[in-house]
Amino acid sequence: MAPSLGYFILWLSLIFAVLQFIISLKKDTSNISKFHKIAVIGLLLSTLFSFFSLMYSHIVSDFSVLNVFQNSHTTKPLLYRISGVWGNHEGSMLLWILVLSVVNYWIYKLYNETNSIFVSKTLQIQAFIIIGFLLFILTTSNPFERILPPPANGLGFNPILQDPALAIHPPLLYFGYVGFSAAFSLSIATMHLGKNSEIPWYKYMKTFVVAAWTFLTAGTALGSLWAYYELGWGGWWFWDPVENAALMPWLIGTALLHSLITVERKKTLQTWVLLLAILAFLLSVIGTFLVRSGILTSVHAFALDPARGVYILSFVALLGVYSLTLFAFKSKNFLHKGYFIFLSREGSIFVNNLFMVIVCASVFFGTTYPLFVEIFSQNRISVGEPYFNSTVIPIMIPAILVMGIGPVLSWGKQNNKNTAQQILISLFLTILITIIFFLCYRGFSFYGLIGIFLSLWIICNVFVTIFFAIKKDSNKNILSPIGFFKHFNSMIISHIGVGLLILGITGSSVWQEENITRMKVNDETTINNYNIVFKEIKKVIGPNYYALEGNFWVYNKKNIVITVLKPQNRIYTITKNTTSEVSIHTNLLRDLYIVLGDGDINEGWVVRIYNNPLVIWIWIGVLIIFSGGLLALKNNLKFLRQNN
């Protein structure tokens, strides 16, 4: 019953979406918001219902639904039956639709007495996007397809996917991608405005972009975190196409966010923003295309079906050609006549934007280049990690240098003495702390030096900004905590987060130590001042698996046990999948990471041990960036509410 109803209601939501589109065509805009209310709420409620009926089918293990049959099993824990709803192609597309409807509702909430035509146009574009995705689901990816007679049980599952981080990262990512759809629609509606319109389109767009970017950051990081503790190489980024598919909109989103701030302040960079808003969403949809169409191999290929690829590509083509043609003709209305000073905050933002776009273009080109080569030659090449590392990192270095002084620079013309003072103090502090770092903590390394310097550069500049602000602020005591934290705005918080993120990236990439050895029970080995003793091997029984677990006692220099690491090799009873569970001991300085390989009692086991310095700062850094984003979102929403 539920699935049939869910399917029927999905068609109903298509009707609401079409209704929303048609309403915007109305010439008389007097009561337009009331009509839109019906469409928007109808769409939201119907997609909610549809989504939850799929979820219900998963929860009760209704195997007459093909989607449930293919992806679930009665032994799957409840939490993962729920998250399994979006852990497959059809369900994830339904989640896209749900999030699109939610964002659609918030666009509707923008209505006030003065902007009805503008919001109506935005809703029209949004409706078009929703119709596109709905038709995609209904024609190629129906989650409610039935299989009769219903089988007794499902095809099981991939145990690697039963994980909390992996469960929540798709919804976060989709809020990101879909948030950019709002920016896209707003961009198009803006371009339809005449010159000199009073509508603060950039304020609306900024709210959506802040939300989208914040959630995209969190979603991407969670994916990396999962890869780190699940996949067993001590790495967290592999330049896999699906990772790149999330990174590219994120880079453009970062650029877009900062340019929107500039538009708000200085009214400049408007055409740039309109273009970035289009690109961010196009990249989000193209990313979806790349990982579902089967034209690229990826660790994460969802569904290798060219038919779906054709649809998404056509849809992207429509959106892109329309928006970019509009841009080609209309954007000249938004050119700013003023002077753009490069040595200023807006200048640093724009320069950094260029760097972000170049990195994004490189990632895009690297990911798709093999396709170009194949068209024009018999040979086939592959572009992997080494390429991306060689091209992205050299460009990020100047980008981060510029990012560091951004907060120090003021808007418009500088008070040169003031600015120079701050930069010099930051430089001094950065160099000082870098030297201390290398004296106390780690052996010298060229890349390590660059990484630590950049990380400290960002953080020192931020703190120098705060101190100078406090000093200017009626001579408050610099060391008073209230005075200090009062100056922590979302930019300061997020930038500190980025500094810590770079610290973590540097530590874990440059100074990772590896020890691969074969150990029998009672054997010992060392890594980075730790003595690791293989004390025992035992059989362990879990809820739906049995495992071989190794117990490794870790002794520090003083011969005290600091932890027991227990990596497992699991066999899942139903599907016969085998997985290797990593065991990690974390502290602020390093992760100790151990993987149990193959072996037996006579020959011993292959044991892989990694010492990953400073890894936790990656996750702490992202958490802080996320908090900064949430704070910014709260402030933006407050402003909108006051004005609507």
Partner 1 sequence: MNLYITTSFKLFIVVVFINLSGLAIINFAHAVEPEEFLNDPKQELRARNISKNVRCLVCQNESIDESSAPLAQDLRIIIRTKIKEGWTNKEIYKFLTDRYCDFVLLKPPFKTNTFILWIFPFVLLLISLFLIYLHNKNSNKRLNGSS
Partner 2 sequence: MQKKLFIFPLIIFLCILLVFSYFLIIKRDPSELPSALINKKAPMFKTTSLFDDETILAEEIFGHETIIVNFFSTWCIPCRAEHSFIEKLSKDKNIKVIGVNYKDDSQKTIAWLKELGNPYTVIAVDMNGSIGLDWGVYGLPETFIVNKNSVITYKQVGPITKKIYSKFYQKVQESYK
Q: Using CB distances below 5 to 8 A depending on partner kind, what does residue 15 bind out of partner 2, partner 1, none? A: none
Q: Are 260 and 253 in contact (CB under 8 A)?
A: no
Q: Using CB distances below 5 to 8 A depending on partner kind, what does residue 71 bind out of partner 1, partner 2, none? A: partner 1
Token couple for 615: 């890894």
Name the DSSP class of 619.
H
- C-alpha to C-alpha distance for 38 and 20, rounded to whole angstroms: 8
Task: List the one residue out of 279, 303, 277 whose CA is nearest residue 290.
Answer: 303
Q: Are 554 and 566 in contact (CB under 8 A)?
A: no
Interacting span for partner 2 (CB under 8 A) from 307-315, 565-573, 592-600, 635-643: 307-315
Task: List the one residue out of 40, 52, 55, 56 whose CA is nearest residue 102.
Answer: 40
Q: Are 603 and 483 in contact (CB under 8 A)?
A: no
Q: Are 277 and 187 in contact (CB under 8 A)?
A: yes
For partner 1, which residue of 3, 6, 42, 87 counts as binding (CB under 8 A)? 87
For partner 2, which residue of 22, 371, 424, 436 counts as binding (CB under 8 A)? 371
Interacting span for partner 2 (CB under 8 A) from 51-59, 365-373, 467-475, 522-530: 365-373
For the CA atoms of 124, 253, 164, 234, the dihedral, rounded to the nearest 10 degrees, stands at 150
Nearer to partner 2, 222 or 275 (CB): 275
For partner 2, which residue of 54, 205, 282, 466 counts as binding (CB under 8 A)? 282
Site of tokens 């569970």? 581
Interacting span for partner 1 (CB under 8 A) from 5-13, 153-161, 180-188, 206-214: 153-161
- C-alpha to C-alpha distance for 354 and 37, rounded to whole angstroms: 40
**How many other C-beta atoms are found inside a 10 Å radius of the C-beta of residue 25?**
8
For partner 1, which residue of 21, 49, 302, 457 counts as binding (CB under 8 A)? 302
Binding to partner 2, residues 37-96 (CB under 8 A): none
Per DSSP, helices labelled H in 331-384 are 345-376
Residue 386 is a binding residue for partner 1 (CB under 8 A): yes
Q: Using CB distances below 5 to 8 A depending on partner kind, what does residue 395 bind out of partner 2, partner 1, none? A: partner 1
Q: Using CB distances below 5 to 8 A depending on partner kind, what does residue 431 bind out of partner 1, partner 2, none? A: none
Q: Are 155 and 69 in contact (CB under 8 A)?
A: yes
- C-alpha to C-alpha distance for 191 and 328, rounded to whole angstroms: 10
Residue 38 is a binding residue for partner 1 (CB under 8 A): no
For partner 2, which residue of 285, 296, 510, 584 counts as binding (CB under 8 A)? 296
Q: Are 312 and 285 in contact (CB under 8 A)?
A: yes
Residue 458 is a binding residue for partner 2 (CB under 8 A): no
Binding map of partner 1 across residues 238-277, x = CB under 8 A, - = no contact:
x-xx------------------------------------
Contacts of 158 (CB under 8 A, 6+ apart): 575, 577
Residue 383 is a binding residue for partner 1 (CB under 8 A): yes
Helix axes 416-440, 385-405, angle to 10 degrees: 130
Q: Using CB distances below 5 to 8 A depending on partner kind, what does residue 369 bind out of partner 1, partner 2, none? A: partner 1
Q: What 3-state class would DSSP assign to 530?
A: strand
For partner 2, which residue of 380, 557, 558, 576 counts as binding (CB under 8 A)? 380
Q: Are 75 and 544 in contact (CB under 8 A)?
A: yes
Nearer to partner 2, 333 or 414 (CB): 333
For partner 1, which residue of 117, 313, 395, 548 counts as binding (CB under 8 A)? 395
Binding to partner 2, residues 316-345 (CB under 8 A): 316-317, 320-321, 324-325, 327-329, 331-332, 335
Residue 542 is a binding residue for partner 2 (CB under 8 A): no
Interacting span for partner 1 (CB under 8 A) from 5-13, 371-379, 423-431, 498-506: 371-379
Contacts of 392 (CB under 8 A, 6+ apart): 359, 362, 363
Q: CB of 351: closest distance to partner 1 in angstroms?
A: 7
Q: Are 133 and 96 in contact (CB under 8 A)?
A: yes
- C-alpha to C-alpha distance for 37 and 10, rounded to whole angstroms: 19
Q: Using CB distances below 5 to 8 A depending on partner kind, what does residue 279 bind out of partner 1, partner 2, none? A: partner 2
Q: Are 547 and 533 in contact (CB under 8 A)?
A: no
Binding map of partner 1 across residues 155-184, x = CB under 8 A, - = no contact:
x--x-xx-----------------------
Q: Are 94 and 51 in contact (CB under 8 A)?
A: yes
Contacts of 417 (CB under 8 A, 6+ apart): none
Binding site for partner 2 (CB under 8 A): 271, 275, 278-279, 282, 289, 293-297, 306, 309-310, 313, 316-317, 320-321, 324-325, 327-329, 331-332, 335, 368, 371-372, 374-375, 378-380
Binding site for partner 1 (CB under 8 A): 70-71, 87-89, 155, 158, 160-161, 231, 233, 238, 240-241, 297-305, 339-342, 351, 354, 358-359, 361-362, 365-366, 369-370, 373, 376-377, 379-387, 390-392, 395, 516-518, 578, 597-598, 606, 608
